[in-house]
């Protein structure tokens, strides 16, 4: 074998090893940029040389979810077990991916103007040197050779390209957690229910309840896919007096995603607070008053009574009804008795007159 032929063979084998490096997991690989997301740093058709080594923020890496689907983007954030990448030409970052998916770090870029012309020139020189042999080949064989060359060239580009689209690519399963419902229970309790995917609530680090211009610390218990927040009574009473019907709950919690990494949940939830009129019933010489609201309500009961037509006598009673509490107030024992029940609800004075 001539020395020139041996050199060509060794060069071809070395190039093939680099091309197949990504599929075989070799320490060095050569891939071709097949998109415009990294412009102007990397352009369509550029070749990059990548090695298996450590990386950090600012490095261009190649991460793959399958042997035929890889992405060449720049690292913008690194956390425990996850990285976030972004194309220089993309408006937003990519979704976080596990660090284990990173295959290579780009160390060298070969612009398309440097590798494409020499490759075409090499093909032309080879064809010129073999012109006599090619001239003796039948047309059919030439056509087959051209088609075979085109197939090999297309296969090489497919192996070089970092992003090869296929319908068999499995999507990434990114841990996430979304709020499913937020409801106010009796007693000033807010129930937060979540829909977690690959994660769960581990611990609540901070809780704050906000209404109007007032803020108050709150307590949250639970975990997994739900939390119960205890809203301070004073804050709910403030909302009732000032006619506020929207409560904001702010949470800062730690998420657990198995044993590999931890996440953080920062939530701000708006919870409607329905204010309902008190239920007032009278009969049998008494007045029954029930408070269905999550906050205490101050109630004033004024009795007007008389035994004969003429001036009415008055007596008053004042009480505070807690959430879900019922009070029974005895009416004076007279022939004619009326009761005026007045209270403040959602910032306005409500009232009802009944006859015990």
Q: How, if at all, do strands 246-257 and 226-230 pair?
A: unpaired
**Number of domains making up the chain:** 3
260 and 119 together in one domain: no
Rounded Cα–Cα distance for residues 32 and 159 (Å): 8
pLDDT in 10s for each residue of the chain, 356 residues: 454 455 555 556 556 655 566 666 678 888 888 888 888 888 888 888 899 888 988 999 999 887 777 899 999 988 777 888 998 888 878 888 888 889 899 999 888 888 777 776 766 666 667 666 655 655 555 555 554 554 455 555 555 555 433 333 344 456 778 888 888 887 889 999 998 887 888 889 999 999 988 999 999 988 888 899 999 999 999 999 999 999 999 999 888 876 667 788 888 999 999 899 999 999 888 999 999 998 899 999 999 999 887 788 999 999 999 998 999 999 998 888 999 999 999 999 999 999 98
How remote is the C-alpha of 329 from its chain's centroid? 53
CATH of residue 212: 2.60.40
CB 102 within 8 A of CB 57: no
140 and 11 together in one domain: yes
56 and 191 together in one domain: no
Q: How many residues does the chain have?
A: 356
Burial of residue 49 (number of CB atoms within 10 Å: 0-12, 13-18, 19+): middle
11 and 154 together in one domain: yes
Cβ neighbours of residue 328 closer than 8 Å, sequence gap 6 or more: 286, 287, 288
Residue 116 counted as domain residue: yes
Q: Is this prediction's pTM over 0.75?
A: no
Q: What's the domain range around 268? A: 176-272
196 and 331 together in one domain: no
* Helix (H) or strand (E) run with residue 321 in it: strand 313-321
Residue 170 counted as domain residue: no
Beta pairing partners, 214: 211
133 and 32 together in one domain: yes
Residue 171 counted as domain residue: no
3-state class of 236 per DSSP?
Answer: helix
Residue 325 counted as domain residue: yes
Of the three residues 272, 300, 320, the one that is the final residue of a domain is 272
Rounded Cα–Cα distance for residues 348 and 350 (Å): 6
CB 182 within 8 A of CB 269: yes
CATH of residue 343: 2.60.40.10
Residue 125 counted as domain residue: yes
Of the three residues 247, 272, 297, the one that is the final residue of a domain is 272
Of the three residues 272, 290, 311, the one that is the final residue of a domain is 272
CATH of residue 103: 2.10.109.10
CA distances from 151 to 157, 249, 278 (A): 10, 62, 82
156 and 225 together in one domain: no
101 and 69 together in one domain: yes
């Amino acid at each position: 074998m001539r020395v020139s032929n041996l050199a060509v063979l060794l060069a071809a084998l070395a190039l093939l090893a680099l091309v197949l490096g990504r599929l075989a997991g070799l320490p060095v690989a050569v891939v071709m940029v097949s998109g415009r997301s990294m412009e102007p740093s990397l352009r369509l058709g550029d070749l990059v040389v990548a090695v298996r080594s450590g990386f950090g923020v600012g490095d261009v890496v190649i991460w793959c979810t399958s042997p035929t689907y890889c992405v060449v983007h720049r690292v913008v954030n690194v956390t425990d077990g996850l990285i976030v990448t972004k194309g220089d030409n993309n408006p937003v970052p990519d979704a976080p991916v596990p660090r284990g998916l990173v295959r290579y770090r780009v160390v060298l870029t070969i612009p398309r103007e440097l590798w494409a012309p020499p490759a075409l020139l090499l093909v032309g020189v080879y064809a010129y040197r073999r012109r006599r042999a090619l001239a003796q080949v039948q047309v059919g064989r030439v056509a087959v050779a051209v088609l075979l060359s085109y197939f090999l060239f297309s296969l090489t580009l497919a192996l070089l390209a970092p992003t090869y689209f296929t319908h068999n690519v499995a999507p990434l399963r990114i841990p996430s957690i979304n709020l499913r419902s937020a409801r106010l229970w009796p007693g000033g309790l807010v129930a937060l229910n979540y829909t977690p995917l690959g994660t769960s609530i581990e611990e609540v680090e901070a809780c704050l309840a906000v209404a109007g211009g007032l803020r108050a610390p709150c307590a949250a218990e639970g975990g997994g896919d739900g939390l119960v927040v205890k809203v301070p009574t004073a804050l709910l009473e403030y909302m009732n007096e000032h006619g506020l019907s929207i409560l904001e709950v702010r949470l800062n919690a730690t998420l657990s995603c198995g044993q590999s990494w931890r996440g953080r949940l920062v939530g701000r939830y708006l919870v409607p607070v329905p204010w309902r009129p008190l239920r007032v019933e009278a009969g049998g010489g008494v007045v029954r008053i029930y408070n269905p609201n999550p906050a205490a309500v101050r109630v004033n009961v004024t009795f007007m009574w008389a035994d004969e037509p003429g001036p009415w006598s008055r007596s008053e009673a004042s009480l505070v009804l807690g959430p879900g509490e019922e009070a029974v107030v005895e009416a004076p024992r007279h022939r004619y008795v009326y009761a005026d029940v007045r209270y403040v609800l959602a910032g306005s004075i409500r009232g009802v007159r009944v006859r015990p």
